[in-house]
Amino acid sequence: MYKNSDIFIASFHRIEKYLKSKVYNKKEIGFARAVKMLRKSNPIIRRYSDDLLEFAELRNAIVHNKTDITYAIAEPHDTVIERMKLIEEELFRPRTVAQLFSRKVYCFQQSENVSRILSFIRNKGFTKFPVYDGQRFKGLITQKGIAKWLAMNLEDNRLFSENTILLDILAYEQEGNYRFVAENTSVYEADDIFKANTEKGHRIGALLITKNGSPSEKLTGIITNYDIMKI
């Protein structure tokens, strides 16, 4: 039966090989240095960089302090092994947005009356609504846009008349309050998109999933800020 130190070292070597395959023209670089370089561009490594750096220290303690081939001075705890397996799995087979967020997406035509969306908010609790002109994507209506539209038109007696359509609300939405992503996008990349836009002061309402990330393709899922927070 394998000891935890054996399992740890085997997993460490697989992760090390993966890291070196991502560091172009620098194959001789060390594990820790590779982590520090790659975390700048790889969202998965960035998420687990602290763990990976601690693994490097533990690996050194096990390998360099071995007194013989069968005895390791440090035996990793079961929780360390579980954590390492999780990280290895995410590196080699990262969870994709399609795996977690594929679902039926309710879409609307820009010519529809605003009352239809308000009904969805009341009955289903949805707050993000992709809007189309035929097959052409026109924009994303959010609770923020609806609130702004209401505030600017409270004195209009025709606010909920049959002449008030979704195209009218789109005019109150922040431009570019959405992004399209492909189904094979990792959940870490998706999280990075939300964070990067928020840091730039441009918070987006949702990520819209299509097969290849093209707005002309059928929507296969949608991700909101709240969805990302849950994972």
State the total domains in the chain: 2
* Tokens read off for 157: 């007696």
pTM of the model: 0.82
Q: How confident is the model at residue 209 (pLDDT cuts 50, 70, 90)?
A: very high
Q: Which of 69, 93, 117 is the last residue of a domain?
A: 93
Report whether pLDDT(157) > 70. no
What tokens appear for 68 in the block?
């013989």
Both 144 and 219 in one domain: the answer is yes
Q: What is the pLDDT of residue 200?
A: 85
Question: Mean of the pLDDT values across residues 123-145?
Answer: 93
pLDDT > 90: what percent of the chain?
A: 62
Of 72, 93, 114, the one marking the end of a domain is 93
105 and 213 share one domain: yes
Indicate which CATH number applies to the domain containing 164: 3.10.580.10
pLDDT classification of 61: cutoffs 50, 70, 90: confident
Mean pLDDT of 162-183: 90
**Residue 18 amino acid letter:** Y
Burial of 194 (C-beta count, 10 Å sphere; 0-12/13-18/19+): buried
Q: Are residues 105 and 88 in the same domain?
A: no
Average pLDDT, the chain: 89
What is the predicted pLDDT for the residue at 198?
85
Note the pLDDT of residue 156: 65
In this prediction, residue 67 has a pLDDT band, given cuts at 50, 70 and 90, of low
Instruction: Determine the Cα–Cα distance for residues 210 and 220; give it in Å rounded to an integer.
Output: 5
207 neighbors 63 (Cβ within 8 angstroms): no
Which residues have C-beta within 8 Å of that of residue 6, sequence separation ≥ 6?
Answer: none
Co-location of 113 and 225 in the same domain = yes
- pLDDT score of 162 more than 70: no
User: What is the separation of C-alpha 60 from the centre of its chain, rounded to a whole number of angstroms?
Assistant: 33
Kindly tell me the burial class for residue 200, based on how many C-beta atoms sit within 10 Å of its own C-beta (0-12, 13-18, 19 or more).
exposed
169 shares a domain with 74 = no
In this structure, what token pair is assigned to residue 211? 């097969």
Confidence of residue 29 (pLDDT cuts 50, 70, 90): confident
Strand arrangement, sheet containing 206-210: 178-182, 206-210, 221-224
First to last CA, the chain: 35
CA dist., res. 127 & res. 206, Å (int):
10
- Looking at the structure, do residues 200 and 112 belong to the same domain, yes or no? yes
Among 93, 109, 125, identify where a domain stops.
93
Collapsing DSSP states into helix, strand and coil, what is residue 209?
strand
Same domain, 76 and 116: no
pLDDT tens profile 69-104: 555 567 889 999 999 999 999 999 999 999 999 999
Same domain, 85 and 127: no
**Closest to 219 (Cα-Cα) out of 189, 188, 179:** 179
- Please tell me the distance from the alpha carbon of residue 42 to that of residue 46, in angstroms, as a whole number: 6
Mean pLDDT for the stretch of residues 10-29:
86
Range of the domain at 20: 4-93
The confidence score (pLDDT) of residue 192 equals 92
Q: Outline where the chain has alpha helix (H).
A: 4-22, 31-38, 43-47, 49-64, 78-92, 97-101, 114-124, 143-152, 166-170, 187-199, 225-230
Residue 185 contacts by C-beta under 8 Å, 6 or more apart in sequence?
96, 97, 209, 213
Summarised one tens digit per residue, pLDDT across range 190-204 is 999 999 888 888 889
Q: Are residues 13 and 109 in the same domain?
A: no
